[in-house]
Structure 1
Amino acid sequence: MENMEFVDTMRTLEDIYEKYEKRVSIQISNDDYNNLTYAETRTLYAIGYPEGKYMKQISEILGIASNTATVAVNRLEKKGLVKRELGLEDKRQFLISLTEDAKKLLDQVDKIFIDEMKRLFAPLSDTEILLLKNLLLKINSKY
C-alpha cells in the first residue's frame, strides 16, 4: 500500500470521528443532559462505575495531564455528577466516583452513542459491519 493510501485512510477515520463527536456533542449539550461537553462525558466514562478512580488513573485513561483532569472533575463535581472521598489506602488522595445522577445520565448518553453508531453504520450491511468490527479488533490487538 502506498503512503498516500495510509494518509487518506487516517484522514477518513479522523473525519468520521469528528462528525460523530460533533453529532453526539450537540445532543448532550442541553439541559436534559446537564449541559455536558463531550470531554466531560469522556471523563465520566473514565471514572466508571461501580468503583471510582484516583485522579492519576483518570488522567492516564484520558491521556491528559493531572491538572487538566482535576479541572474536568471539579466541573463535574459542581454539576453534582461526581463525588470525592478519601482513599482507603492513601489518605492523601481522593477517590473520585460517580453519583447516582451521573450513572442515570450515562445510561441515557449510552443510548445517544448507540443511535449515532447505528446512523454511522447505516450504509453498511450486517456482514460489512461484522467484517469492520473484526478488522478493527485485529488492528487494535496488534498495535
Structure 2
Amino acid sequence: MPVVRELVRAYQAFKSYDDAHIRQLGLTSSQFDVIATLGNTPGMTFNKLAEKTLTTKGELTGLIDRLEKKGLVQRKVPPEDRRSFLAVLTPAGERVFEETFPAHIAYLKQRFEKLDEQELEQLQVALEKVKNLF
C-alpha cells in the first residue's frame, strides 16, 4: 500500500535525522529518551518511565544500568513503596538534560519550521487519525 510505504519512509527519514544528532550528543536514542523524560521531574517509577518512553520494563532495566554506569541516573527506593524503584537523574544527568534537550529541540525545529502552522496542524490531525485506526 502506497500510504503505508510513505508512512514508513517518513518515519525512517525522521529517525535517521534524529538519531544522527543524538549520537553527536554522546547518547543513544533510547538513553536520550530516558534522560529527556526524566528531566525536570523528581523521578519516575520504572513502570511509568517504560510507558512514557515506549520501552518494555526489561529493556528499561538495561538502559538504566548503562545510564547508572555513566553516572547520569540513579535508582531510589520511594519511602511509600519499598517494593519499587524510582529512576532519578543525578546532578550530572540533569546537566546532560539541560545541555542536550534544548539543543535537540532546536535541531528538530530546523526541519519542522519549514512547514507552516496549518501544515503542522494538518499533519498532527492526520497522524492522530492513523494512530486511532489501530
Report the TM-score range of the alignment, normalised by the length of the smaller protein. 0.7 to 0.9
Which amino acid in 2 is paired with 1:112? H
TM-score by length of 2: 0.76
Which amino acid in 1 is paired with 2:44? K
Deviation at 1:88, TM superposition (A): 1.6
Match of residue 67, structure 1, among 27, 50, 58 = 58
Deviations 1:58-107 (A, max 9, x none): 22333433221100011111111111111121123221111233233234
Match of residue 92, structure 1, among 83, 88, 100 = 83
Deviations 1:34-72 (A, max 9, x none): x21011112223434322111222223334332211000
Which stretches in structure 2 are left out of the alignment for 5+ residues?
Answer: none
- 2:9 paired residue number: 15
Asked if the contact 1:86/1:95 (under 8 Å) is kept, the reply is yes
Match of residue 129, structure 1, among 93, 115, 120 = 120
Identical pairs, percent: 24
TM-score by length of 1: 0.72
Q: Deviation above 6 Å: which 4+ runs of structure 1?
A: none
Superposed, 1:1-143 pairs within 5 Å as: 4=1, 8-30=2-24, 33=25, 35-107=26-98, 108-120=100-112, 122=114, 124-133=115-124, 135-136=125-126, 139=129
Q: Supply the distance in 2 between the matched residues of 1:84 and 1:51 (Cα, whole angstroms).
A: 12
Q: Number of aligned pairs?
A: 132
Larger Rg: 1
RMSD: 2.7
Q: Supply the distance in 2 between the matched residues of 1:141 and 1:63 (Cα, whole angstroms).
A: 14
Asked if the contact 1:59/1:65 (under 8 Å) is kept, the reply is yes
Deviation at 1:136, TM superposition (A): 4.3
